[in-house]
Amino acid sequence: MPPSTHREPTGTQSARPHSERITLANFIDGKHVAGGRTFENISPVDGSVVATVHEAGADTVDTAVQAARKALEGPWAAFSVTDRVRMLRRIADVIEARSEDFVTAEVRDTGRPEKVVRDLDVPRAAMNFRVFADCIASASLPAYLTDLAHGRQALNYAVNKPLGVVAVIVPWNLPLLLLTWKVAPALAYGNAVVVKPSEETPSSATLLAEIMVEAGVPAGVYNVINGFGTGSTGEFLTTHRGVDGVTFTGESATGSAIMRAVAPSVRPVSFELGGKNAAIIFDDANLEAALDGLTRSIFLNTGQVCLSTERVYIQRGIFDQFTAELVQRGRALRLGAPDEPSTTTGPLISRQHRDKVLSYYDLAVQEGAEVLLGGGVPDLGAPLDGGAWIQPTLWVGLDNTARTVREEIFGPAAALIPFDIEDEAIRLANDTDYGLAAAVWTSNLERGHRVAQRMRVGMAWVNTWFLRDLRSPFGGIGLSGIGREGGEHSAHFYAEPTNVCVQL
């Protein structure tokens, strides 16, 4: 296989640990394919160019879809469940063996702290493949023996078949984690995939192609095409009639556009979209645990997590104390280069996204917010000032009528709002067009169960956050998405059940 990267010096000195500029081509049918045009990938850490990326035009997208279709009818079709289980576990092993390569790729694209990527994203990527290997290894479908008239019987049983060619469109916030979360079940159930990573974070998808080859995945089963959305690669992929289904994580507006694209041919979709997630802090909560949890859920990955908390409802009796201590936790965060051991918080993904987040910082003040923490752009000095850095931010003085409280920001910011009684907290938390996740903090587990079950969300935590068995259902409702993934729940999208009825 030809090398996936061509390295050349950038001539730029920066605080990033990896200063090489690379070239990323598309990956189709087991080989790297150039595009007609290229674009630059910019480091969010210091604004330098870290990669030249080949854009896939309509013809290249068509080639990728045809390669995936051909793979479905070739050697991949002969892989038994046992074969796929072994292959998925090999992929996991190779990911672990090349873990530092993935750390390099993720940090280069996102600017996230190395330790976070090393401890969370890479192990989770390997685990995704192992979980779905275990899932299909132990899966069984029910059979029904039916008594018919005149003493006859019929046996009904179902078999799962691949959905087919799956378009996998992944975002920039957790590129490796979310990529493997979709590719692992797609391959587990026998599909072939055409992956479109975000134009902001193409590196890990290309590196995973090398892992696929090393693990023995047949050519055409895993393809990568780079580019943008409307009028570019994303639109060409979602409107291609050779695609049997689309799985997408990203903005709700983009999900709506994809639904319009697939509607004429009535193809299935699986969407995990935006969130405006709430946390409810009752006055009997373990405050240290709740403060730890909120510090993570608001500020982890600079607030660029679909599950992040942007609305915090705090019972009035502890509101002042809890707010003051949460502000202190925010002040203790350390923004800096990803290779610095003291760094807790990286930049936003781009200056364009920072402009969006800053517009909400300004809007919050216009809507009457009091800024307790942050509210602007930090002065980190050269070369970091060339990046997309922003201050972690907390507000009080807003309510559910404010746009800042209703619209997804996707940055390290949250509104802190008091409440008096349980029913009021539930009403406020559910007062949103989104429905992805919520967290309830209380020492009364009866109340914890009761409130969590009343949350209008796909996932509700009690006294924790970002903790989940990967076999459990993952997804949202409302503007937060369609469908569920995780363990056997993934089969509802990635597999097509066929019922077989035999009269005995």
Given 272, 367, 408, 485, the catalytic residue? 272
Proportion of the chain above pLDDT 90, given as a percent: 93
Mean local confidence (pLDDT), 173-180: 98
pLDDT, one tens digit per residue, over 394-424 is 999 999 999 999 999 999 999 999 999 999 9
Q: Is the pLDDT of residue 8 over 50?
A: no
pLDDT at 6: 30
Q: Which domain holds residue 106?
A: 8-273+480-501
Angle subtended at Cα 176 by Cα 173 and Cα 182, rounded to the nearest 5 degrees: 100
Q: Is the pLDDT of residue 47 over 80?
A: yes
pLDDT at 1: 32
Q: Are 386 and 325 contained in the same domain? A: yes
Which pLDDT band, with edges at 50, 70 and 90, does 19 fall under?
A: low
Q: Are 434 and 456 contained in the same domain? A: yes
pLDDT, one tens digit per residue, over 103-127 is 999 999 999 999 999 999 999 999 9
Q: Are 487 and 431 contained in the same domain? A: no
Q: Are 492 and 462 contained in the same domain? A: no
Q: Are 242 and 150 contained in the same domain? A: yes
Q: What does the alpha-carbon distance between residue 467 and residue 461 come to, in Å, rounded to a whole number?
A: 8
Q: Are 484 and 411 contained in the same domain? A: no
pLDDT at 92: 98
In the residue annotation, 501 being an active-site residue is answered as no
Given 200, 235, 306, 408, the catalytic residue? 306
pLDDT, one tens digit per residue, over 270-315 is 999 999 999 999 999 999 999 999 999 999 999 999 999 999 999 9
Q: Are 234 and 308 contained in the same domain? A: no
Give buried/exposed letters for 454-463 (b at 16+ CB in 10 A, else e): bbbbbbbbeb
Total-model pTM = 0.94
C-alpha 64, offset from chain centre: 23
Q: What does the alpha-carbon distance between residue 13 and residue 45 come to, in Å, rounded to a whole number?
A: 12
CATH code where residue 175 lies: 3.40.605.10
Give buried/exposed letters for 314-342 (b at 16+ CB in 10 A, else e): bbeebbeebbebbbebbeebebbbbeeee
CATH code where residue 463 lies: 3.40.309.10
Tell the residue number behind the tokens 């975002």, with chain if given: 171
Mean local confidence (pLDDT), 233-248: 97
Q: What does the alpha-carbon distance between residue 5 and residue 203 come to, in Å, rounded to a whole number?
A: 10
Question: Does any domain span residue 165?
Answer: yes
Mean local confidence (pLDDT), 478-503: 95
Question: Does any domain span residue 2?
Answer: no
Q: Are 266 and 341 contained in the same domain? A: no
C-alpha 235, offset from chain centre: 20
Q: What does the alpha-carbon distance between residue 104 and residue 109 come to, in Å, rounded to a whole number?
A: 9
Mean local confidence (pLDDT), 19-48: 94
